[in-house]
Amino acid sequence: MAKKAIILAAGRGTRMASYSNSLPKPLLEFKGEALLSRQLRSFKEAGVEDFVIVGGYMIDQITVFVKTSPHRIRLLYNPFFAVNNSIASLWFAREYLDGDVFITNGDTYFQKEIFMKLLKNKNEYVFGVDESRRSDADYRVNLFEGEILDMGKDITENDVMAEYIGIALIKKKGIPLFRDLLEKTIKAGNYNLWWEDLFIELMSKSRKISYVDVTGDFWFEVDEAKDYRKYQRYF
């Protein structure tokens, strides 16, 4: 069972400036509790014990949060958060890519059942997807017999079969190849990719990226101000 989660929480949240000008997006509160706190608690309920958080924007506030959290957290700092994307944040956490590990972003929430479903999958790379969200999918995926064939925001409406929900589980056996690809990508100067782009590269090398459909389970991503307003009512 995966006992570790890497949470990338360095971004500025520019599409939510009305809220994120005063605090990092992961610290936005839902009924008096920070989104990041809710995320950690849900992970904990699924058996995850160790957390690595990569901060950047308003790191002082993230630091205060970590110091007062009851969870076991290692906080890392990405000083280049304003000029690169999430792959750089993952690079700063590369030494913690060992064993079975979840990777997600700090602006997401998943109920614990989602983690449990991913853990039951025996493949080395597992993504969470929601097949009930097709017409309004943001990050789209094309699927076939338990495998992701293609993923990205540019997949056509005819090919989209689900929405990627923003979480992946890498099993121990898949870590060496993934870390090697991460290091090669960063050394090549490709700092402006998303961490998920590494899996697209793995697919091009004929590696199987499995998925678990979480239709019916509760999850969300706070990408825009309307998302924050919408999901307030769910707690």
The full set of domains in the chain, from first to last, is 4-234 (3.90.550.10)
Residue 136: band (very low, low, confident or very high) from pLDDT cuts 50, 70, 90? confident
CA distance 80 to 92: 11
Which has the closest alpha carbon to 141: 168, 163, 119, 158?
Answer: 163
146 φ/ψ angles, rounded to the nearest 5 degrees = 80, 5
Q: What is the pLDDT of residue 28?
A: 93
- DSSP 8-state class, residue 205: T
In the predicted model, what is the mean pLDDT of residues 195-223?
95
Residue 64: band (very low, low, confident or very high) from pLDDT cuts 50, 70, 90? very high
CA distance 196 to 151: 9
Residue 17: band (very low, low, confident or very high) from pLDDT cuts 50, 70, 90? low
pTM of the model as a whole: 0.95
CA distance 15 to 56: 17
Which has the closest alpha carbon to 37: 26, 21, 46, 24?
Answer: 26
For residues 86-125, one letter each, b for 16 or more C-beta atoms within 10 angstroms of the residue's C-beta and e for the rest, the string is bbbbbbbbeebbeebbbbbbbbbbbebbbbebbbebebbb
